[in-house]
Amino acid sequence: MQARRGRAESRRGEEVLVFLADRRPDDADVDDVDDVAVGGADEVAGLDERFLEDGALGRIASVFVPTAVSAALIPWLGVYLSGALFLVFSMMTLGKVGLVKASIISVATMAVFFVTFEFWFQVPLAKGVVMPLLGIY
């Protein structure tokens, strides 16, 4: 251990290069890795790969679109109703949870949020148009 520390302190740059060379991925092309390490490569290994894997855009959209719709509904439904609908939809589509279970979980979650923000923090969140009509505000 002592000899290794002395070697690392005296030849820090060489030690790092040896460490990196030992940790080369199995599927990497040795010539590409050496060219990149030297700095003479015109094409870096891995840049020709696709940005998104197959089906990744659909998975991203399956989360982004409901989130955007939920955010757009906040002025009309309020944070709590919009959040409850978002949770129910997300649990049913992404989590494959039944309607009853998703509804119970989302109502309980929004009730905790309501108590936390309205009573404990005393920070009123957007109620929208519907909640005052229901007599909740």
- Find out whether 16 and 37 touch, Cβ atoms under 8 Å: no
- Closest to 28 (Cα-Cα) out of 40, 46, 43, 16: 46
Using pLDDT thresholds of 50, 70 and 90, give the confidence band for residue 9.
very low
What was the pLDDT predicted at 53?
84
The pLDDT of residue 46 is above 60: no
Domain residue extents for the chain: 2-38, 56-134
The pLDDT of residue 77 is above 90: yes
pTM: 0.61
SS3 15: helix
Query: Among the residues of 11-134, which ranges form H helices?
Result: 12-22, 30-38, 56-93, 99-114, 130-134
Using pLDDT thresholds of 50, 70 and 90, give the confidence band for residue 47.
low
SS3 121: coil
Mean pLDDT of the chain: 78
